Structure formats: structure tokens, C-alpha cells
Structure 1
Amino acid sequence: MFVALAAFSWGLSGGIGGILMGQGWDPVVVSFYRGAIGLLFVLAWLAVRPQGSGLASGRLWFWSAVAGVGVAGNFSFYFLSIAEGSVAVAATLMYCAPVFVYLVSFALRLETPTAFKWAAIAIVMLGIVLLTGIYDLGAGDVTLIAAGAGLLSGLSYAVFIFGFKFAAPHGSPQAILVIAFAVLILILFGLGDVEQMVAVLDTASWPLFVVLGVLGAGLSFIFYIVGLKHTAPAVASIVAMVEPVTASLFGVVFLSESLGALQVLGMALILFTVTALSIRASSQRNVVQPVPPVDQEKTPNPIDRR
């Protein structure tokens, strides 16, 4: 239930972000407030559960900062892809994050390539071609910026996965998320439109920003990590499909978006193939294995999400 709630919340956050950007708000500003409100929640979580935080560890700070760079890119590129394209396309492309994890793992020799993995990656690539329509950009609705930003959001999420994974042995998930969200705020404040950021505090749209932060980064991350403690990773991988499905339905119902038959086929290829990869990885438990955490139950692996 907790994993499903987290995935559902992430899906809704994409749609809410789409509404805000439709009102003229910059993707970086939307991402900033999503992370800032999320930081308040994980700070409260850390205050309630300070045991084993690991905040005295330099390695925790370093890898958590790497995770922060990843989540900053993930939020920003995701909303940029929505602004330039659609919620459905952006959410599905972000769901490709495990493919980037595999490719980086192959390059670093942390993962052994197999025919199954290469075939799965090839199917995902075919799905991306069909979903984005890059074979016929002149007739397609998805721009190069939208497609590129969507893929970069997935790549950024892969960076978050690596950062979180390497930080996990040195502290608690709430401490990692506090540092990661703090880094996100610093990065996006430097990149964003400061005038717009200030204007948010005195706009009629501020309730949407609050809901976005609560659903997209506050309660959702807590729900997800707590849920993983009581859920088999293979089940979590399947349940996580709630996110792109929810985002797509939100776009169709509330933002008047539509997908062609080939785009729907491409989306299906991506979702089912990535889910199969995640299930296989969770059964083998051999993806990106650094020194294991002292308490594996305490700090679950976020790769099981997508």
C-alpha cells in the first residue's frame, strides 16, 4: 500500500507540475519548491528518528550530495520534458532509469552483460523510438527537447540511485534525503529565476505548489522507503508502474493530452520491459553492489522503484 501510494503521488505530481507550468511557472522554480517542501518533511522525519543518522561520516555527506545532484536533475529535466511535451511521455522516459544504471554498471564492470539484459535494453530503445516519434520528428508531437529532457531525467535518477546506494552503508535514509534535498535547493536556487521564486509566496497558485511538494517529495519518499521495508522488491517494481500510468491518465483527463497508437505501443514496451528488468535484478540482487549496509532492512535500495 505504501509503495503504491508513493507511486500514485509521484504520478500526480507530474500532472500538477504540468498545470503550474501551463500557468507560466518555470520548470526550475516548480522543481525548487517540490524539493524545498520535501526537505521540510525529511527534516521532520530525521528529527523523529535521529538514530544511526551517520551525519558525522564524510562519505555519507559526499554520496548524499551526489544523490542531491541526481534528484535536482531528475526534477528539473522531468518538468522541462512535461513543459515541452506531455506528462505521459516525460513520465515514461523517466521510467527508463534502470537502463542507464545497467549501462553505467556495464562500463564500470559492476554488472555482467548478458543476452537477456542487452535484449531488454534494445526493446526499451525501440519503445523510446515509438513513444517519441523520433523517426518522424516533422510529424510527431514530441520535440527533441522534450525527448532529450525526459531521457536526462531518467539518467539523473540513475545518478540519484548510485549516490543513495553508496551513501546507504554510512547512515539512515532520512539523513541521506535531508542532505540530498538541501543540495537540490542550493543548485536550483542558483539556476532558477529568483523573481519567480519570490513571486510564488504571493500568488493564488501557492496551494498547488504545496500539494506538489507534499505529494512529489514529502510524504511520497517516506511512504516509499517505509513500504520497501515490508515489500518484496519484485512486487515493488510492478506496483511502481502506478506512477507513469497515473501521470498519463492525469494528462489525458485534465490536460487534454493524447497519444497515438504507436506511442501507446512504445509506452507498453518500455513499462513492461523495465519492470521485467527490475524483477530479474531483485531476484538476483547483483546490480551495483558496493559494501552492503550494516542494516539492509533500515536502508532499502531505491533501484527497486523503477
Structure 2
Amino acid sequence: MGNQPRWPGFIFVILGASFWGIGGTVAQRLFQEDGITVEWLVSTRLLIAGILLLVLSFIRDRKQVLKIWSDKKARIQIVIYSLLGMLAVQYTYMASIQLGNAAVATLLQYLAPVFIIIYLVLTKVSKLKARDIFAVVLALSGTFLLLTNGSLAGLSVPASSVIWGIISAIALAFYTLYAGVLLKKWGSLNVIGWAMIIGGIGMSIIQPPWSVDSSNWSIDTYLFLGFVILFGTMIAFWFYIESLKYLKPQETTLLGSLEPLTAIITSVLWLHISFGIYQFLGTSLILFMVLYLSIFKDKPEESLQIIRTEELGS
């Protein structure tokens, strides 16, 4: 990073995280008011955003774009990462939004560090530490308050939304752990771009982007779709990647926590989603858990940074 100014990095990560959070809220609006399906939105946004990221990578270094396909091991890894990582994270997150709301879905996805801790302990990569137990307690307490708003009478969102949100967190944990070697060797733009395209192709088998009834779409529908695809996906990933040139990964992770905050703020103010005091308290506990693990981490290989570049994903 040298002596280069750090302010561009702060701008990139703040904008990227904010676009992710707002993109989830805009997607919720598309699901609820325009009848757009999760399958169609996921396949379309992944394909378009993936192509744009690869075009950007080609402009920077045209020789690097196709290089990953010359390595047999990398070809297998990128397909696994695309389908079980990128596509799984995107689909489960959007399904949770459609069945519930963007605020809760985003926060449930942020439970990924808990599943990373469980995996590292079970595989004996690391030993269970007091800080890990504390983090899990924070996560469970925050999730309880978030989903119940302090009352056992019922959930704040449907159980199906909760299930998809938890699966989304598990998928993000896999996405984060599996991405390391690929990102380091082949470059973030290339890996994320190809993963989006492959994931988009995979979802297109179920729901082709060209097979959609747009007869009732308004100008707002097209504008919101453009925002989700360009700002909420492509630009959000790109800005997050760019921020790493100016900031430490730990700093980008901390500022990346703006994502759920923007999702909550836009959901409450724009879509008028009900969010009680206990839910705000639960949100605080979950975000504190993420910040706590980001600040107090041990060895590099045990880093619990949520890599959205992906992280970015959100």
C-alpha cells in the first residue's frame, strides 16, 4: 500500500457495502410488487454482472482472463466454487428476502463466521477458544432477538425465510473458506467474474433470463433491475475489490458491516418494514460479533473475514 492515500479505499468500501445493502432492499421490492422470481433475478444478475466484471478484467490484463482455464485443477475448483459458493449464496439469500425481508435476510447471512468457527474446530484447524464461545453466544442471542423481537409468541419473519437465511450463512461460510487459494492465484476480478457467469448459467437451466413476462413492467421496474444488477452486484463487488488496494482486509471487513445497516435503514424508511427495539438490539449483537472477530483474530489462516469478493455478497 506504501504511501498512497487511503481515502479512496474508504470511499470504495463504504459505497460498495452500501450498494450491497440497498440492492437487497430493491430486490425485495421487485419480488413483492413486480412479481419477479428469485430464479430469474439470480440468473440474470449473475450473468450480466459476471460478463461486466470479466470485461473490466480484460481491459486491465487481457492475457489473464482465460488463464485460469489452462489449469485442470483450477477448472474443477472454479466450477465447484461457482455452483456451491457463488450460486448457492446468491440464491439462498434472495430466497430469504423473498419470503421475509432484506434486513433479516442480510443479518442471518452475517452468521457465517459462526459456521466458520464450527468448521475450523471440527476439522481441528483451530482449537475452540474463549473468544469463539463468546462470539457464538453473541450470535445466538442476537439472532433470537432479531427473529422474535423479544417475544416467544412468534417469529418476526416466516420460518421458511429463516431457514433460507441460515442456509445462506452456511453457503457463505463455504464461499469464504473455499475462495482463498483461487482469489490469490488467479485474481479477484477473474474468479468472481467467471463464478458469476458459471453460476448464472447453472441457474439459467432452471430459469432462462430470456423467459420472462415483462408486459406489466413499468419504468421503475427496469430502473430497479438496473440498480440491482449494476450497483447492487457488479459495482459493489468491484468497489470492494478496489478498496483492498488502499486498506487492510481487516478495515474493509469492519466497514463492510455497513451492508446490513443500509439494508435495515432502506427497508424501514422505504418499504416501511416493521423493526422493533429488540430487533435493533439483536442487530447490534450480530454486528458486534462480526466486528469482534475481525479485530481479535489470531493466525492469518484463521481469519474470519467475510470475503464478498464477495464479498462480496452479498
Q: Quick one: which of 16, 21, 25 aligns to 1:6? A: 16
- Whichever residue aligns with residue 2 of structure 1, its letter is F
- Whichever residue aligns with residue 252 of structure 1, its letter is V
1:36 aligns with 2:47: yes
Q: Is the 8 A contact 1:60 1:170 kept in 2?
A: no
Change (3 A) 1:195 1:2: closer
- Whichever residue aligns with residue 75 of structure 2, its letter is W
Q: Is the 8 A contact 1:233 1:304 kept in 2?
A: no
Q: Quick one: which of 143, 168, 171 aligns to 1:153? A: 168
1:116 Cα deviation after fit: 0.8
- Whichever residue aligns with residue 247 of structure 2, its letter is T
Q: Quick one: which of 39, 47, 53 aligns to 2:58? A: 47
Count of residues in correspondence between the two structures:
295
Q: Any gaps of 5 or more consecutive residues in structure 1?
A: 290-298
Residue of structure 1 in register with 2:158 after alignment: 143
Superposed CA deviations along residues 219-264 of structure 1, whole A, max 9, x for unmatched, are: 1111111111211222212211110000001100111101122211
1:21 aligns with 2:31: yes
1:169 Cα deviation after fit: 4.0
Q: Is the 8 A contact 1:66 1:159 kept in 2?
A: no
Q: Quick one: which of 154, 173, 177 aligns to 2:188? A: 173
Change (3 A) 1:35 1:165: same
Q: Provide TM-score, normalisation by structure 1.
A: 0.87
Change (3 A) 1:148 1:261: same
Residue of structure 2 in register with 1:218 after alignment: 234
Change (3 A) 1:207 1:106: same
Q: Quick one: which of 74, 78, 90 aligns to 1:60? A: 74
* Identity of matched residues, %: 22
Q: Distance between the aligned counterparts of 2:185 and 2:212, measured in 1?
A: 36
Alignment of 1:1-306 (within 5 A): 1-22=11-32, 23-50=34-61, 51-53=63-65, 54-55=67-68, 56-69=70-83, 70-133=85-148, 138-192=153-207, 194=208, 197-200=211-214, 203-204=217-218, 205-281=221-297, 284-287=299-302
Superposed CA deviations along residues 168-196 of structure 1, whole A, max 9, x for unmatched, are: 3431212211221122112211233x488
SS in 1 for 2:246: coil
SS in 1 for 2:156: coil
Q: Is the 8 A contact 1:67 1:163 kept in 2?
A: yes
- Whichever residue aligns with residue 98 of structure 2, its letter is A
1:134 Cα deviation after fit: 9.2
Q: Is the 8 A contact 1:25 1:196 kept in 2?
A: no
1:216 Cα deviation after fit: 2.1
Q: Is the 8 A contact 2:111 2:169 kept in 1?
A: yes
Q: Is the 8 A contact 2:240 2:309 kept in 1?
A: no
Q: Is the 8 A contact 1:15 1:247 kept in 2?
A: yes
1:15 Cα deviation after fit: 0.9
Q: Any gaps of 5 or more consecutive residues in structure 2?
A: 1-10
- Whichever residue aligns with residue 235 of structure 1, its letter is E
1:2 Cα deviation after fit: 0.9
1:112 Cα deviation after fit: 2.8
Q: Distance between the aligned counterparts of 2:283 and 2:254, measured in 1?
A: 15
Superposed CA deviations along residues 95-136 of structure 1, whole A, max 9, x for unmatched, are: 122222222222222233211112211210121111112986
Change (3 A) 1:222 1:93: same
Q: Provide TM-score, normalisation by structure 2.
A: 0.85
1:28 Cα deviation after fit: 1.8
